[in-house]
Structure 1
Amino acid sequence: MIIALYFLIGFLASLLGSMAGLGGGIIIKPLLDFFGHYDLPTIGLLSASTVLAMSTMSLIEVKRMNHNFDRSIGLLIACGSILGGFIGKGLFNHLVSDQSLTYFISIFQSALLALILIIIFLYMRYKNALRAYRLTNKWIILAVGIALGMLSSFLGIGGGPLNVAVLYLLFSMNAKNAVISSTFIIFFSQLSALALIAVTTGFSGYDLSMIGYMIGGGILGGWIGSRMVSKLSNKRIETVFNLTILLIIIINIYNLFFY
């Protein structure tokens, strides 16, 4: 049952994540917090590995189906995200090295994540009434990537919902292009997060008994989700995004106040 549970978490998170550009980490993190089987560093590693598997499969399908998206913007944000990811992960590792702070960091993460998601949910609901921009300055785009990478890496969420909202607001993308670009950015940010673990702490200190099942779920979810994106309208994708964000807000608030 434990194996089935973790495979299902990886699969459903990756399915919804690849359909809405959320990545999956935004779903995996609060769910693993809820079940409480692993400490924060292990949760971050399991989430990053699953999301990397999902994003790899999704991008393979995107290339196979010849979807067009602005790779130049995605690559600049991805480069910034890698740098910001190193900073955010380094800060996180420094804080959790003090065992007395782990509990408070978990509370802070849940509270900050819930607040960010509420803001994103409200923005997505009313974005048509707000002005959207189209940034072209490469340095500003790079700085946006650094900020996204720092925040998403510290929270251990892969950056999906943040990426999508920023791509709507600052680059005037439609739903499909935002989803694909977000997945492109997530791939590089999660790859850098795992590389940082490899060259600093290594993987020997983590409980990786469930990682293979979660990666398997991530691959399957990414494959199905990416194929569904090509069949869904922009409005349907936005609906999936908003409903998923609402569900994650509820889980985070529950974790914060009751767990």
Structure 2
Amino acid sequence: MEIYFFSRLDYTSEMIIIFILYFAIGIIASTLGAIAGLGGGVIIKPVLDLVGHFDLPTIGVLSAATVLSMATISLLKARKKEIKVDKATSLTIACGSIFGGIVGKAIFNIIAISLNIPKTTAIIQSTILAILLSFIYIYFKRKHKLKSHVIKNKMIIFAVGFSLGFLSAFLGIGGGPLNVAVLCLFFSMTAKNAGINSIFIIFFSQLSALLLIAFTTGFADYDLFMLFFMIPGGIIGGLIGSHYVTKLTNLQVEKVFNITVLIIIFINLYNIIRFLIS
């Protein structure tokens, strides 16, 4: 009886640590996501790959639901602040990203589920993400030397959104850093304005991704118990990030963005090596 008691006690302690871990992942990713427009998915996805408790489709749902909760809170808080959403541009990008997301998710499902090669898919995702983030990091370090643009053509803006949605859905990241880089480069937004507009785009892309699953395969095959810990983390992270983003300068927001992107690059590189040798 004594051995059984202590084994149960050890199991309970281990589960509590796991619950705290997933809550912490949700709150840290969402706080950084709300501050810099990263969304949080670009952090959650590689970190959950690293933890290794769930398969790729489940990680995608956990990430999308957590990011959606953060984006909802951030947008509600932004209504009362001086940082504004460029609804005309961002809504066009969001519409494009929804269609691109459907295509990207379909291709992901073919590779990861139909072909049943999750390890290869994870390596491809991590490699593409590491390369894209490296380019984004270099861009922000040299942004002051590069000319930005202001695209007005709706079809081009829609096409930009489609490309962002496709990459985001295939990589399972929500699109935050890609959105911010594109908004700064092609629409001449400051880091803070790009951040809130990125979250606006992410809100629609993640909502559509979850609705697509709900009306097609459903959620029965996904192990989503950790959402009870990650969604509260996303909500609290959204509140914290929204509070601090108005107090930070554009330069400080860029620093948060760059440091976070650099950390994510190294996590992805570690994941690639781990997948290759496992």
Q: TM-score, normalization: structure 2?
A: 0.91
Q: Identity of counterpart residues, as a percentage?
A: 57
Is 1:57 the counterpart of 2:73 in the alignment? yes
Gaps of 5+ in 1: none
Is 1:89 the counterpart of 2:105 in the alignment? yes
The one of 127, 143, 154 equivalent to 2:143 is 127
Cα offset for 1:166?
0.2
Task: Give the aligned residue type for 1:173.
Answer: M
Larger radius of gyration: 2
Task: Give the aligned residue type for 2:90.
Answer: G
Gaps of 5+ in 2: 1-16
Find the counterpart in structure 2 of residue 185 from structure 1: 201
Task: Report the aligned-residue RMSD.
Answer: 0.9
Change (3 A) 1:45 1:245: same
Cα offset for 1:112?
0.5
Cα offset for 1:258?
2.8
Superimposed CA distance per residue, residues 125-153 of structure 1 (whole angstroms, 9 cap, x where no aligned partner): 00111111110001100110000000001
- Determine the C-alpha separation between the residues in 1 that align with 2:140 and 2:229: 33
Task: Give the aligned residue type for 1:55.
Answer: A
The one of 27, 34, 37 equivalent to 2:43 is 27
Superimposed CA distance per residue, residues 174-206 of structure 1 (whole angstroms, 9 cap, x where no aligned partner): 111100100000000000110111111100000
Find the counterpart in structure 1 of residue 221 from structure 2: 205
- Given that 2:75 and 2:199 are in contact with CA atoms closer than 8 Å, whether structure 1 keeps it comes out as yes
- Superposed, which structure 2 residues align to 1:61-80 within 5 Å? 61-80=77-96
Task: Give the aligned residue type for 2:96.
Answer: G
Task: Give the aligned residue type for 2:123.
Answer: I
Superimposed CA distance per residue, residues 96-126 of structure 1 (whole angstroms, 9 cap, x where no aligned partner): 2235421100100000100000000000000
Is 1:42 the counterpart of 2:76 in the alignment? no
- 3-state secondary structure, aligned to 1:97: helix
Find the counterpart in structure 2 of residue 160 from structure 1: 176
Task: Give the aligned residue type for 1:231.
Answer: K
Aligned pairs, how many? 259
Superimposed CA distance per residue, residues 199-243 of structure 1 (whole angstroms, 9 cap, x where no aligned partner): 111000000110111000000001110111111000000000000
Task: Give the aligned residue type for 1:255.
Answer: N
The one of 32, 43, 49 equivalent to 1:16 is 32
Q: TM-score, normalization: structure 1?
A: 0.98
- Determine the C-alpha separation between the residues in 2 that align with 1:98 and 1:206: 16
Cα offset for 1:68?
2.1
- Determine the C-alpha separation between the residues in 2 that align with 1:187 and 1:10: 16
- Determine the C-alpha separation between the residues in 2 that align with 1:108 and 1:164: 23
- Determine the C-alpha separation between the residues in 2 that align with 1:130 and 1:65: 30
Task: Give the aligned residue type for 2:227.
Answer: I
Cα offset for 1:43?
0.2
Superimposed CA distance per residue, residues 6-50 of structure 1 (whole angstroms, 9 cap, x where no aligned partner): 000000000001100000000000000001000000000000000
Task: Give the aligned residue type for 2:36.
Answer: A
- 3-state secondary structure, aligned to 1:134: coil
- Determine the C-alpha separation between the residues in 2 that align with 1:190 and 1:174: 24
- Determine the C-alpha separation between the residues in 2 that align with 1:203 and 1:118: 34
- Determine the C-alpha separation between the residues in 2 that align with 1:141 and 1:58: 24
Task: Give the aligned residue type for 1:178.
Answer: A
- Determine the C-alpha separation between the residues in 2 that align with 1:67 and 1:178: 10
- Determine the C-alpha separation between the residues in 2 that align with 1:26 and 1:204: 25
Find the counterpart in structure 1 of residue 189 from structure 2: 173
